[in-house]
Each structure stands twice: as C-alpha cells, then as structure tokens.
Amino acid sequence: MPERVIAFDVWGDYAHFRKNYSTSSPLTYSFPPRTALSGLIGAIGGLDKSDYFSWFFRDDASIGCRILNPIKKVRIGENLIDTKSALKMHLIKNRTQIRFEFVKDPKYRIYFWHSDEAFYGKVKNMLLGHQSIYTPCLGLSQMVCNFNYVGEFELRALGEDFHEIDSVVPEKLISELEFEEGKEYFSEVMPCEMGEAREVMDYREILFERNGESIRAKVCELWELKDNRDGERILFL
C-alpha cells in the first residue's frame, strides 16, 4: 500500500466523461472515473495512449479524487461531421447536431501514487514545473484543462470508525453512513479498472456529495494526509 501521495488540482471550463451506455445523447459522469484519471496522469507523464492502461492496475497505482467545485451540468448542441464522406475536410457537407451533456466549471483534486518510483518521480517533477508531455484534458480532447501542484504528503491509515471523508467514496468500502442535513448525496456506477485490450474489468458504485462537502461514514481503507493543513481524509478508487 502507498506510504505517500502527490496531490494536484485540475480545472477547466467544461468536462465530459462519457457514460458508456449513452449513445445518441451522450451523458457525462459528475467527476472523472479512475480510467479517465489514468489517462490524465498518463498524459502528464508522457505514456503512450495505446498501452498506458497497463500502468494503472490497482496493484501498481492508487488514485483518489475530491470534488472542489459544485457539480453543475449543462447540455450543448455540437455539430458532428462525417469524415468518411469526403477526402478533404473543406468538402465535408454532412453534419449531425447532437446534444452533449457537460460538467460546467469543473474542479477536482487528484491524489496519486505509483509503485514505479521513476514514473512517480517524473509525474511529480512535471507537476512541479507546470509541464506535461501531452495536453491534459477533462475527458474529451477539446476539454483542455489547467492544473496546479498542491504537494506531496505522507499517509496515515485510520481505524474503521466514523470520520469526515473529503474524497469520493466507493460504496463497497462503507459499513455505515451518516446522512447529514443540508447535504446532497448521489452515487454513480463507474468503470474503475481497464485491461490492456481496453475492456472494463471492474465497475464500482461511487458515492459523492454534489457540492464537494465531506461525507461522514464508517469505512475501511481510509487514509489521512499527514502535515496537510486541511487534514484531508481520502479513499482510493
């Protein structure tokens, strides 16, 4: 298990993490699934998109996510073109307008550890220098995002008792949940691990608070970031 994590923030104007069961009107997850976070980290570290999934099996990488901005969703019509109908782009006449669902003004905090010290160190150095090998985005290539290095923190394992949890929460880790007045709880079934052939190997139901507030629950595998001024407590996806 990890002894430390890198924490960094990502944000943009819009995000789209497509739900795989939506077709003609693509819907989005409220925050990036673990598979999308793997792609984002792989882009920063310079992994080839054809095989980066093999770097992010759970035995090798731990990834967590915290919602920083309230989740707001909008629908926008986009013109899709038929690139097979003409040899040159300017000759394409066929367009189909599809209404896409987007997350508006998304901002997330990502927690990352990897067993490969060289790759872990490379990602850390890229974040420190505000650099990336490939352009980071929030789901779709046109959803370019900014990022900021927060810090590197040692982890302390917490006992299975009631705690305030700052990250999103895999429901399979919850033994008891305390609903608090004024908070908005939602859950989504998301892909969490993908094989080298790009097939989803594991889905999990993930609980989150829409406005980014903490969730009070009794869970296993909870970690506290030491020497973190916010005293963040997180779970890995």
Decide if pLDDT at 234 tops 80.
yes
Strands (E), 12-142: 14-15, 61-67, 72-81, 95-104, 107-114
Q: Is 215 helix (H, G, I), strand (E, B) or coil?
A: strand
Tokens representing 196 are 């080298």
In the predicted structure, residue 85 carries a pLDDT above the cut 90? no
Residue in 144, 147, 120 with CA at minimum distance from that of residue 131:
147
Q: pLDDT of 177-191, one tens digit each? A: 999 999 999 999 998
CA dihedral 160, 192, 26, 139 (to 10 degrees): 100
Q: Are 32 and 146 in contact (CB under 8 A)?
A: no
Tens-place pLDDT, residues 181-227: 999 999 999 988 777 667 777 889 999 999 999 999 999 899 999 88
What's the one-letter identity of residue 103?
Answer: V
Q: What is the pLDDT of residue 79?
A: 74
Query: CA 224 to CA 43: how far, in whole Å?
Result: 27
CA atoms of 110 and 184, how far apart (whole Å): 21
CA distance 99 to 163: 40
According to DSSP H, which parts of the chain are helical?
A: 34-45, 117-128
pTM: 0.91
* Domains of the chain: residue spans and CATH: 4-234 (3.30.70.2660)
